[in-house]
Amino acid sequence: MTHEDLEETVPLYAIGALEKIERQTLEAHLLSGCIPCRTALKEFQSVAISLPFALRIIPPPRALKAKIMGARTQAPPTETSAHPSATPSLEPGEWMRHLFPPSSPSTTSFGLALGMVLVGILVLLMFQGWNSSPRVTEDTRTLAELQTQVDAANAQLRTLQQQLSEREEFLTQTREELQRRMEELAEVKDQLIQREAEVDDLTAQLAEYSGRSARIP
């Protein structure tokens, strides 16, 4: 495609009358740095933007401003990043960021949140629709089986937990019993030491007594 061919598509691009492939071809050409085409596009963009000035003037309903201002005060501004427009016509490419008005984003954080809510509603509706579908009997049976399996697993888990608890209690009792036996053993040991001391005492007394008897004529 020659430069003249491309130049002829500029007004069509500006008004949004090009097909995707033609649009991409022209954008590639503009990206290559063609100043005359860029200048022409800027002028034709101005023409396109001026078209609504010729429309019959229809003032918005008086209540609309209050509605918009009210919605605005309910939702404080949040910082979101700009996204390229989903609408191709009049959409300047990234390359024209500094030449033409910015384009509308297709998604926003608010849109994302709203989308999530809508998805939630959709899932709910799908679930309801699914319940009312002819497959409901089979699916309900499968669900009941799964529920039974979950209940059985839960019961098994509860039994294991109970057994574990019993084991822990038995271990505690055993430990306490061992502690008591150790204390008794220590007491017996003390008594044994005391008895040994008494025996030593008695042995000493006996020896002394035997010595005195031997000195008596």
Partner 1 sequence: MDSTLPRAASAIDPKVAARAGKGDHLAFSQLYDQSSTMLFSLAVQILGSQEDAAEVLQDVYADVWRKAVRYDVGRGTPIAWLLTLTRSRAIERLRTSPPRIRRQNVSTDDAENGTTAGQFESPADQAVRTVISTTLADLPQAQRQALELSYYEGLPSVEVATRLSQPLDTVTARIRLGMVKLRESLHTYWEQDKSA
Q: Which residues bind partner 1 (CB under 8 A)?
A: 8, 11-12, 14-19, 43-61, 64-65, 67-69, 71-72, 75-80, 82, 85-87, 89-91, 97-105, 108-111
Tokens 């020896």 belong to which residue? 207
Q: How far is the CB of 41 from partner 1 (least distance, A)?
A: 11
**Of 34 and 111, CB closest to partner 1:** 111
Token look-up 């430990």 returns 175
Measured from the CB atom, is 87 or 156 closer to partner 1? Answer: 87
* CA gyration radius, the chain: 48
Q: Which is nearer to partner 1, 68 or 123 (CB)?
A: 68
- 91's CB contacts (< 8 A; 6+ apart) are 16, 84, 85, 103
Q: In this structure, are residues 112 and 48 in contact, taking their beta carbons and an 8 Å threshold?
A: no
User: Least distance from C-beta 115 to partner 1, angstroms?
Assistant: 13
CB of 123 to partner 1, least distance (A): 21
- Interhelix angle 3-15/35-50, rounded to 10 degrees, is 20
The amino acid that residue 95 corresponds to is: W
Q: Which is nearer to partner 1, 33 or 59 (CB)?
A: 59
